[in-house]
Amino acid sequence: MIITVTLNAAIDKSLSVPNFRLGRRHRTVEQTTLPGGKGVNVARTLKTLGQPVIATGFAGGSTGTRIVEALTDEAILNDFVRIREESRTNTAVLDPTNGEQTEINERGPAVTGRELELFRDKLTYLARGAAIVVFAGSLPRGLDSDVYCDLIKDLRKLGVTVVIDTDGDPLRHAVRGEPDVVSPNVLEAEELVGHEFNDDEDMTIAVREMVALGAGEAIMTVPDGCFASVIVDGGPVLHRVRIEPREAIATVGAGDAFLAGYVAARYSGKAPAECLRFGVACGAESTQRLGAGLVDAQRVERLLPEIEVVPLTVPAEVS
């Protein structure tokens, strides 16, 4: 079983609005409303790929009820801790005439110490039957930024493989908990290692720096694939994975689809390079549809041969 954790779950609205202008009134030409938050998106893609998954996290108020009911309607197994404050609704406006997307994310509920304790118990219980736990997304208000770090340590003691995709302070603390895998995008990785990347060499060094900070494996997604340090035969090996970028309908959630693909392949026992290839295929496929976490498994398979996976020679040691 795979568990996905979404501490700040949401209802995600994606609106397609041609010629979107600030300060004007518009009509949508297409819209999707789905339960979301990064961990929920990952669970949706895992379910589509036929992997056994349970989505957990916090859900509050009538929006929380809607999240849980909509997940159940999608036949995504879920077990959320109910909280007192209302879960958030996030809105993404996509302009099909120029491909621009505007996102407005609500601040979300505050979580109490008691609610966190309930969650910790639930996660420990669920993790007993799990091989992989994926933490994804931001933290709700009221939680300390080291909460992921504590949860990661709990799970590592149980021998579960832990994967985390978050940003900012929560990511910085999380790597200290020594997760098995971190998967930031470029901006998130720059913030984590503390400098900007100008070229491929900087990005290659960055994934090694993330490993030096505590992650077992580090995968940094870029719009045309990823850079990764993954463990092969007991030691870290650097990889560059490349795909020809495609014209996107929506790139929101491409990183979530990537992560789900990577985790699905890993759960199936595929070799590390093939896990990266599968992740990149899922990320790319997801850009062809409105709504995060939506992929077509057959189209993902068709993309696999187009993806180049190159092991990289090791640059000088990171001090």
Ligand X SMILES: Nc1ncnc2c1ncn2[C@@H]1O[C@H](COP(=O)(O)OP(=O)(O)OP(=O)(O)O)[C@@H](O)[C@H]1O
Could you tell me if 163 and 178 are in contact, meaning their C-beta atoms sit under 8 angstroms apart? no
274: left (phi over 0), alpha (psi -120 to 50) or beta: alpha
Report the partner that residue 243 touches, choosing among ligand X, Mg ion, none (CB closer than 5 to 8 A by kind). Answer: ligand X
H or E stretch covering 170: helix 168-176
Are the C-beta atoms of 239 and 312 separated by less than 8 Å? yes
Q: Which DSSP string do the residues of 6-28 spell out, in sequence order? A: ETT-EEEEEEE-TT--TTS----
Residue 52: DSSP 8-state:
-
Closer CB to ligand X, residue 60 or residue 170? 170
- Write out the E strands in 43-193: 53-60, 77-83, 88-94, 101-105, 132-136, 161-165, 181-182
C-beta nearest to Mg ion: residue: 255
Q: How many angstroms separate the CA atoms of 213 and 89, rounded?
A: 34
Residue whose token pair is 């995504």: 76
Query: What is the nearest approach in angstroms of Mg ion to the Cβ of residue 213?
Result: 18
* C-alpha distance across the termini of the chain, in Å: 38
Closer of 85 and 188 to Mg ion (Cβ)? 188
Among the listed residues 216, 253, 261, 293, the single contact to ligand X using CB under 6 A: 253
Nearest to 83 by CA among 55, 116, 37, 121: 116
Q: Is 185 in the site for ligand X (CB under 6 A)?
A: yes
Using CB atoms, what's the residue nearest to ligand X?
A: 255
For Mg ion, the closer of residues 124 and 185 by Cβ is: 185
Spell out, one character per residue from 268 to 287, where the chain touches ligand X: x when CB under 6 A holds, - when not: ------------x--xx--x
Residue 253 binds which entry of Mg ion, ligand X, none, CB below 5-8 Å type-dependent: ligand X
- Binding residues (CB under 5 A) for Mg ion: these are 185, 255
Residues 187-246 interacting with ligand X (rule: CB under 6 A): 221-223, 225-226, 243, 245-246
Cβ 260 vs Cβ 181: under 8 Å: no
Query: Which of 55, 252, 275, 295 is the binder for ligand X (CB under 6 A)?
Result: 252
Least distance between ligand X and beta carbon 102 (Å): 13
Q: Which CB, 47 or 81, lies closer to ligand X?
A: 47
Please choose which of Mg ion, ligand X, none residue 284 contacts, taking the beta carbon within 5 to 8 angstroms, the exact cut-off set by kind.
ligand X
Instruction: Name which of 81 and 219 has its Cβ closer to ligand X.
Output: 219
State how far the Cα of 44 lies from the Cα of 223, in Å rounded to an integer: 22
By C-beta, is 60 or 283 nearer to Mg ion? 283
Q: Which residues bind ligand X (CB under 6 A)?
A: 185, 221-223, 225-226, 243, 245-246, 248, 251-256, 258, 280, 283-284, 287
